[in-house]
Amino acid sequence: MKVLITRSITKHYVEQLESIAEVEVYPETIKPMPREALLESSKDKSIIISMLSDNIDREFMDNNPDLKAVINLAVGYDNIDIDYASSKDIIICNTPDVLTETTAELAFTLMLVTARRIIEANELVKEGNWVGWSPYLLAGLDVYKKTVGIFGMGNIGTALAKRCIGLNMHVQYHNRSESEAAKALGANYVSFDELLETSDFIICTAPLTNETKNIFNKDAFKKMKSSAIFINIGRGGHVVENDLLEAIQNEEIYAAGVDVLNNEPVGKEHPFLSEKRITVLPHIGSATVDTRNAMIELCIKNAKLIIEDKKPVSEVKK
Ligand code: 8YV
């Protein structure tokens, strides 16, 4: 079987597949594979190990008669037309579980960093502007004992809830359905409006679906407390970015921290970058060495099983 890996990964992982398949690796470590190159290189491959930046759409799947499986190096798969893949019996795999704790840790970190204005504080010192002390110099907001509203109570939301409970926070959440795991932790299920209106921190961990696209818009920000902090580690597509920007500029909410944006990567001209009250990270939710290794290992394991005509361990259920 022929395999395409659309980004350069550590050689020793590639070697594990090379003993049983013909493997092509796109040599770039950071830049996404251009569409034309992706279509060309994938044409004769049975398995694609893909990244979130690869658009696995109808055109891609129709272009490739031998395609048996797409293995996404991510838990999310909003870059893949799942229904079309299903109609063509193409196996889709992702990397759940191995990144849960790491991604929850990033969400938790972003909440603390944004509330305590850590990035602004670091910049003040590094830019040589630390000239003295005043009672309210870089005074932020407390986190402990506050109410956190988690939007999306899957594995990552649950792992985040545990961390928040450790800070004596009151945890409430909104999800497609009530979660037993969250209930066992003492987290309260609330409506979306109640979540917006009563939370001090609103943290989006949800996967992007047609129902959640643009759900954090002007109306949603208006419902939040003026002292609220909005955190997004889900997908940029949940948020109308201009509405978030206006909510911050009009002081309708206090601050925001986002690990994900609508069109990644963004350049210097993105309006969030000049807003001190918006912390922006370059989609590093699962970016620890251990977790990225575990994600790659899971992809390789799935690929091996598929090559051996066995059932992969983390197939996306349609
Ligand atoms: C990705 C993510 O792993 O897993 C996801 O869905 O958003 C990240 O953890 C990362 O962007 C690599 O594709």
- Residue 281 has φ and ψ, to the nearest 5°, of -115, 155
In this structure, are residues 205 and 157 in contact, taking their beta carbons and an 8 Å threshold? yes
Alpha-carbon span 14 to 36, nearest angstrom: 23
Q: What are phi and psi of 311, to 5 degrees?
A: -80, 130
Backbone angles phi, psi at 165, to 5 degrees: -65, -35
Tokens 């394991």 sit at which residue? 301
Instruction: Mention every residue, 6+ apart, whose C-beta is less than 8 A from residue 194.
Output: 172, 174
Phi, psi angle pair for 79, to nearest 5°: -85, 0
Which among 54, 46, 40 has a CA at the least distance from the CA of 23?
46
**Which residue type sits at 113?**
V
Low-confidence residues of the chain: pLDDT under 50: none
Annotated catalytic residue 235: yes
Amino acid, res. 106: L
Q: Report how far residue 191's alpha carbon sits from residue 172's, in angstroms, rounded to the nearest whole number.
A: 10
With a 6 Å cutoff on the Cβ, whether 287 touches ligand 1 is no
How far apart are alpha carbons 230 and 111 in whole angstroms?
A: 8
**What ipTM does the predicted assembly reach?**
0.93
Torsion of CA 140, 146, 151, 155, to 10 degrees: 100
Output the pLDDT for position 318.
73
H helices of 151-288, in order, are 155-166, 180-185, 192-198, 218-223, 241-249
pLDDT recorded at residue 186? 98
Which pLDDT value is given to residue 317?
A: 85
Residue 70: strand, helix, or coil: strand
116 an active-site residue?
Answer: no
Q: How far apart are CA 178 and CA 183, in angstroms?
A: 8
Q: What is the pTM of this model?
A: 0.97
Q: Which residue is listed with tokens 């992982």?
A: 13
Q: Compute the distance between CA of residue 296 and CA of residue 74 in angstroms, rounded to an integer.
A: 9
77 CA from centroid of ligand 1 (Å): 9
**Three-class DSSP category at 266:** coil
- Between the CA of 122 and the centroid of ligand 1 the distance, in Å, is 27
Among candidate residues 96, 107, 94, 55, the one with its CA nearest the CA of residue 234: 107
CA separation for the pair 152, 315 (Å, rounded): 21
Q: Please indicate whether residue 127 is annotated as part of the active site.
A: no
Nearest CA to ligand 1 atom 1: 74
Is the CB of 73 inside a 6 Å radius of any atom of ligand 1? yes
Tokens of 262: 């609508």
- Integer Cα distance of 256 and 236 in angstroms: 13
Q: H or E element: which one contains 304?
A: helix 289-307
Q: Contact, 168 vs 144, CB < 8 A? A: yes
- Distance CA(300)–CA(295), nearest Å, equals 9
Distance 74 CA to ligand 1 centre (A): 4
What does the pLDDT read at residue 266?
96
Q: The tokens of 245 are what?
A: 């920007």
Q: Is 283 in the pocket of ligand 1 (CB under 6 A)?
A: yes
Q: Are 93 and 314 in contact (CB under 8 A)?
A: yes
pLDDT tens figures, 186-223: 999 999 999 999 999 999 999 999 999 999 999 999 99
